[in-house]
Amino acid sequence: MRIPKAVLILVLAGIILYFPTLFNGFVWDDEELILNNTQVHSLANWPAFLSGSTFNSGGGGNLAGLYYKPLMTMAFSLLYTLFGPSAWAFHAFQIGIHIANAVLLFYLLRRLFSPYRVPGVLPEILAMLFLIHPINTEATVYIADYQDVLFFFFGILAFLSVLKTGDRQLKTAPAKPVLVWSGLILLSLLSKETGVVFTAVIFVYIFLFSREKLRYFVPAGILAAGVYAVLRFGVAHIFFNKHGLTPITTMPLSDRLINIPAIIWFYLKTFFWPQNLAINQQWVVRSIDPITVLADLGILGGLGGLGVLVYKKKREIFPLWVFFLIWFLLALTFHLQIFPLDLTVSDRWFYLPAVGLLGMLVLAGGLKRWGRREILGFWIIVLILSVRTWMREFDWRDGLTLYRHDINLSPNAFDLENNYGVELFRHGDLADAKVHFIRSTELSPQWWTNWNNLGVIYEREGNPAEAAEDYRKAIDNGNYYLAYENYAAILLKTGKNAQAREFLEKEALPRLPFNVRLKELYALSLQLPR
């Protein structure tokens, strides 16, 4: 079968644009999710992926964390089994899925646009903008964010399958397509909870344009949701909890709602002017800013004006424009903190809403006949956005580069302060590392990792009493496995052998029974005098 030229252009553009990412390393949560997470180092541990969360538990049994994304963990395990701790392989897979998503989006748009008299270049334009837009860089280069490219991949496959399935097939053999749809929806949900939004998007499309398929799609969605619920709640026992560490997660609903105008403004501003891209944004607002509200209304009003223009000039495509509007609103609402998320905003969370917004803009742009001038203007925009994406990729080359850049844009992020301190520590700059660890404990005294790392600094400085106190705080705050190891070690180091043995027997090993380091320390404590 002949491959459309547009697909070849998308694939080639994706490879060229994201090629530098292959030389980037593991950063941020990549270490705890992959490098230090011994359970993902073998596919033989796959039952643990279904019965736990995502993070290294440090010897506590099942994988730790608040989220249920077993398909992401399985992808990590498969790649680690095949390639070991090689960052390039993980980056190559992620880039490949993102490019595949752009190609699948192209095919989806061709089907969506085919009943209407719209310029044939529109699917290519939208797919290309999705592929290269800087706001999607984080979802494409941050290995710990596999979940976004994965849930989108299976969600769009489900959408395509729904569109391709004809009425005759549904009437003669409905079981097969229903099972296929259900399986793909389930895979999207097992990649990330946001898969439920993609399911809602498909439901809206069927309701608007192909209502006869509802009787088949609804059972597919119910079946997928049922299996997912059994796995998440029945097998893994992971419910919808919040960690309560970031400012937004400590706010009541009434205060979170005050942040909605600022959150909407962040996403719209970043989409149209992607200058200040940064990971881990934890800012909050305590009152509604009228200027922000006016800015939101201005942009949203402009989008509404485009809708009116579409309705007046090409009424037959207006229902499709409304569908993309609903797509955008559904996907954006999921990230407006009605249900608290662990960050206030994040570039990667716009991966799905971006398609709805692009769909509205591109359909409105298709009202005019596309000649050489319009095509030239489009490629200039692609070039500008690609350069910005390329620049952002180099911020991600390693942890030190990323944190040094982003800390200026996210000055109150406690975990960014901590991670920057870790990188400074690894480069031998203990004094500056200490400054950032202290800053992290000031921003989030209820966390655990920052206290443990500050304890390491005090231990290096020859202050074991202060170090032990900080390790103890880390344990009391969150049962951090490294704090258990460090606290037991410093007790033995300072001659408190009996206290160390009691701590290991009654507290550490019961909590982390599979921790090899704690077992070694316990064996050592038995050999030493009390």
CA distance linking residue 64 with residue 140, whole number of Å = 24
Task: Pick the closest to residue 261 from 241, 235, 289 (CA basis).
Answer: 289
Q: What is the pLDDT of residue 43?
A: 92
Is residue 476 predicted with pLDDT exceeding 60?
yes
Q: Are 464 and 442 a contacting pair, CB within 8 Å?
A: no
* pLDDT score recorded for residue 527: 86
Residues of the chain with pLDDT > 90, as a percent, come to 85
CATH superfamily of 413-527: Tetratricopeptide repeat domain (1.25.40.10)
pLDDT digits (tens, 9 = 90+) for 97-114: 999 999 999 999 999 988
Taking only the tens place, the pLDDT of each residue in 14-43 is 999 999 999 999 999 999 999 999 999 999
Average pLDDT over residues 190-217: 95
pLDDT digits (tens, 9 = 90+) for 146-172: 999 999 999 999 999 999 998 888 888
At 43-52, the pLDDT tens digits run: 999 999 999 9
Average pLDDT over residues 189-208: 96
| Cα dihedral sign, 224-228-231-234 | negative
Distances (CA, A) of 307 to 16, 328, 329, 428, 504: 35, 14, 14, 57, 66
Look at the pTM and tell me if it is higher than 0.85.
yes
pLDDT at res. 368? 77
Contact 114, 163 (CB under 8 A): no
**CA–CA separation, 178 and 503 (whole Å):** 55
In the chain, what are the domain boundaries?
Answer: 413-527
33 secondary structure, DSSP code: I
Beta strand extents in 269-342 (DSSP E only): none
The confidence score (pLDDT) of residue 73 equals: 96
Bridge partners, 64 (sequence order): 55
| Phi–psi pair at 394, nearest 5 degrees | -75, -20
Residue 1 pLDDT grade (very low, low, confident, very high; cuts 50, 70, 90):
very low
Predicted confidence (pLDDT) per residue in 361-372, tens digit: 999 988 777 788
Per-residue pLDDT at 64: 87
Return the DSSP state at 235.
Answer: I
In tens, the pLDDT along 216-226 reads: 999 999 999 99
Q: Write down the mean pLDDT value for the chain.
A: 93
Please tell me the total number of residues recorded for the chain in this structure. 530
Which run of H or of E encompasses 300? helix 290-313
Average pLDDT over residues 433-446: 96
Looking at residue 366, the DSSP 8-state letter turns out to be T
Q: How far is Cα of residue 239 from the mean position of the Cα atoms in its chain?
A: 19
Quote the pLDDT of residue 243: 77
Banded pLDDT at 2 (limits 50, 70, 90)? low
| CA separation, residue 392 to residues 80, 353, 377, 387, 402 (Å) | 26, 21, 23, 9, 9
Q: Are 72 and 526 in contact (CB under 8 A)?
A: no
Q: Does the pLDDT of residue 344 top 50, yes or no?
A: yes
Strand, coil or helix: 220: helix
pLDDT-wise least confident of 44-53, 368-377, 380-389: 368-377
Q: What is the pLDDT of residue 369?
A: 78
Query: What confidence category does residue 411 fall into, taking pLDDT thresholds of 50, 70 and 90?
Result: confident
